[in-house]
Each structure stands twice: as C-alpha cells, then as structure tokens.
Amino acid sequence: MRRSTAAAVGTLTGAALIVGVRLSVSAPVVTAAPAAVDLDGSGAGGDPSPSKSASKKKEPTKKPTSAATSDAGAAGGGSGPADGTFKGKGVTNPYGTVQVSIKIEGGKITAVGATYPLTGESATINPAAIPKLKQETLTKQSAEIDAVSGATFTSKSYVESLQAALDAAGA
Amino acid sequence: MGTVVSIDLADQLPAADLTKLVEQTCAWLHEVDARFSTYQESSEVCRFRSGKLTLDQCSPDMRHVLEACADLWRATDGYFDANATGRLDPSGYVKGWSIEVASARLAAAGSVNHCLNAGGDIRMRGKNAEGKPWRVGIRHPWEAEKLSWVLAVSEGAVATSGTYERGDHVFNPRTGKPARGLRSVTVVGPDLALADAYATAGLAMGEAGIGWLAKLSAQGYQSAVVTDDGRAFSSAGLPAAV
C-alpha cells in the first residue's frame, strides 16, 4: 500500500508540472478568480472598498486563501463572505476555458478548485490524457524462454548469466 | 565491444548454410569492433576523435553512427550523450545498430527466423525452433537467476539498461553524477539501436524517465521499469507472454 501511494504522488506531481508549464498563460486567472468571488461576498457585506482592491487581482504574491481571508476580516462587521461554493468567471486562453471555484465555510475559504479544458488541443495538458506506465507488482518468474534481456553484461559476467545457461542447453 | 553475442538461427536450412550464416554474422561483428573500438588506437573512431581523420575521410558507417548519435541526443533531450565522458564514445549506439544490421543481413541471406542477443540487448525475427514467437525474459533486477517479465516477440527488439550489473556506469549528463531512481529500464520496439538508446536515456533521467518512456509508446516503443525501491511499471502495450 505504501508503495502504491508513493507512486501515485509521483505520477501526479509529474502531471501537475506539465499542466503548470502549458497553462502558464492562465496563471493570473487563479489569483483573479477568488477576487471575483470575493466581490460577491463583500457585496453582501456592504463594504465596497476592499472588494475593489481585491478585484484588481494584483496581489498575486499572496495565496488566494490568505488574501481572501484577510479581505473577509477587513470587511469585518461580523458578516463576512456568505457560506457556499462560488465559481469564478470562466476565462478562455489558447488551451481552452479555465474556471476556478472556492468553497467558503464560516467566512473562510476551505477549498479552492479549478476546472481545466478537456477538449481539443488542451487534451495534451489534461493529466488523464498523458500516457502513463501502469504500476504493478514486481514478480519473480522462471519460465521457458529463448533469451534473456538484462543490463549489459561483460564477457566475465556472461559466464554466470542465465543467457549462458540457455546457450549451453541449446548447444 | 567487450560483450558476448548469442546467435540463435531457427530456420529449416542445411547445417552448412546455417554455419555459413553464423560465420558471416561473426565477420560483420568483428568488422564493427575493429572500426568502432574505443580501446584500439588504430580503430576509425579513435583516429577520428584524435583528429587523425576528418569527417570527410570517415567511412559511411562512421558517418551514419555520428549522425544517429546526434539525432538521439536531440530526441532524448540530451540524456543519450555519446560525448558524456568528455570524449566521443558511440558504443551505446554501435552495439544495438551492429546487431540491427546483422539481423537485416541474415534476413536478406535467407534466415527469417532468428534471435541475436548482444549482452542482453536482443533483436529477433520470425519464430523460434518450436514455431512460436520468441520468448524473452527480462532479468529480475535483484535476483540474477529470476525474471521480472516474460515477453513474446516475433519481430522487433528488446533492450535493457540497469544499474545493477556494473554499478554506476550510467550517468545523468545534466548533473554529471550517477543516475539514481531507476534500477532497470527495458524498451521494446522495432529498432534495437533506438530501443537501447531510449532505455539508457530513461535510466539516466531517473524517476522522471517513467513519464518520458510512457510517451514513447506513441512511436511504437513499449517499456517496463523497476525503480530503486522495487516498484514496477509497464506500458499498456508491452507484449507480455501469457
């Protein structure tokens, strides 16, 4: 179990890296979208100034989560953003449409998600479309074979190899 | 080349013909060795890299090998590097290519059922002596007398690179350090020279090689990988024997 978990992480990391590279044009969207959602939340709170600064989407160095939480604090007044799941505006880039969503519980963002394009050219960046080697159990077999493939053996190690035994049997 | 080549001809031909075919194959391999040996100062590759021969003076075979190494350097993102040690050493390509050529010559001379194994890198055609696809075992990376996969192949090549046999002899050309992360990489496909180079490159990449090798299946090259910590991976098209 432990091993298969590690493999899944490795594969996902690899896929995420590819998404990151190919989707770099859409990176600002991720910071912009919570701001757009925050606009809704603060609109309910009735305080326009923090929402305006937030909607300028130019605080990309902060993580969306912390930025939005601090905005909620600034809005103050006890109300804060309403609970629920909010979706940002879908933004289209050369690879398709990306839409970011956040989930707010108790005035705080508890989850951030995004939908990525699944069609057309974007198929190449969809993790599911990236070919993978499937993980399996390494087994030990001894079967009838004609030849053995292994890392280059020298003439010396050949003498002790399974291939040498096969050759001797066939000779 | 410092390796052993096993020649298995399964054709129903007169013994004299088979002997002649084996002799011709051996003559070709010795010719390759004399031309491309990096240990003999008189070899063409040594004279070329010391500047005694210009590219124009090289044989067509030599020029082909140099061109193929350059192509593979690009195709593998620099991980297959005939100059990795600081001086030209195309042995990593020459071994697979010489067997590929030997197999083509055998087929042209009438042997359409054979299996050539050069130090674990194998090219086969047709069927084995029992009239079935050749069965190729992939050596278990920890237990030399065991196999980790068994493949059934009629036409094509199987090449394996690993860190278990000669220790740290595969280097990551980006870092200059021994390759880490993968213990064994096997590539199965139409051309042994390419399969061998891809296996070496994948091993040099380390764990990132798993993703890189997966993409080769679109070009007809399947793969099977074992990591340093014993996890095993294979591509969906690997011709595993039942």
Query: By the 8 A CB rule, do A47 and A77 touch?
Result: yes
Across the interface, of A133, A140, A151, the residue whose CB is closest to B164 is A151
What does each of the 242 residues of chain B score in pLDDT, given as a tens digit? 468 899 999 999 999 999 999 999 999 999 999 999 999 999 999 999 999 999 999 999 999 999 999 999 999 999 999 998 889 999 999 999 999 999 999 999 999 999 999 989 999 999 999 999 999 999 999 988 889 999 999 999 999 999 887 666 678 888 888 888 999 999 999 999 999 999 999 999 999 999 999 999 999 999 999 999 999 999 999 998 86
Where do the structural domains in chain A lie, given as residue ranges? Answer: 24-115, 140-171
Is B4 within 8 Å of A153 when comparing Cβ atoms?
A: yes
Q: How confident is the model at residue A1 (pLDDT cuts 50, 70, 90)?
A: very low
Cα B168 to the chain's mean position, in Å? 18
CB contacts, 8 Å: B226 with chain A: 138
Is the entire prediction scored with pTM above 0.90?
Answer: no
Beta carbons within 8 Å of B90's beta carbon, 6+ residues apart: B36, B45, B65, B66, B69, B82
Nearest CA in chain A to B138: A149
Question: What part of A 22-81 touches B (C-beta under 8 Å)?
Answer: none
3 state DSSP class of B41: coil
pLDDT in tens, A70-87: 333 333 445 567 788 777
Nearest CA in chain A to B188: A149
3 state DSSP class of A114: strand
Across the interface, of A144, A149, A160, the residue whose CB is closest to B186 is A149
3 state DSSP class of B135: strand
Question: What part of B 102-121 touches A (C-beta under 8 Å)?
Answer: 115, 117, 119-121
Is A2 in CB contact (< 8 Å) with chain B? no
Question: What part of B 145-204 touches A (C-beta under 8 Å)?
Answer: 145-150, 158-166, 184, 186
Give me the pLDDT at residue B34, please.
94
Is B233 within 8 Å of A133 when comparing Cβ atoms?
A: yes
Is B8 in CB contact (< 8 Å) with chain A? yes
Residue of A9, A130, A132, A133 to mutate, testing the B interface (most B Cβ within 10 Å of its Cβ): A133
* A101 sits in which H/E element: strand A96-105
Is A140 within 8 Å of B147 when comparing Cβ atoms?
A: yes
Radius of gyration from C-alpha coordinates of chain B: 18
Gap between the Cα atoms of B144 and B223, Å rounded: 20
Q: Which long-range contacts (CB under 8 A, 24 or more apart) does B44-50 make?
A: B45/B88, B45/B90, B48/B88, B49/B87, B49/B88
Gap between the Cα atoms of A17 and A118, Å rounded: 17
Question: What part of B 207-236 touches A (C-beta under 8 Å)?
Answer: 207-208, 210-211, 213-215, 217-218, 223-226, 229-236
Is A150 within 8 Å of B162 when comparing Cβ atoms?
A: yes
User: Which domains are seen in chain B, by residue range?
Assistant: 5-234 (3.10.520.10)
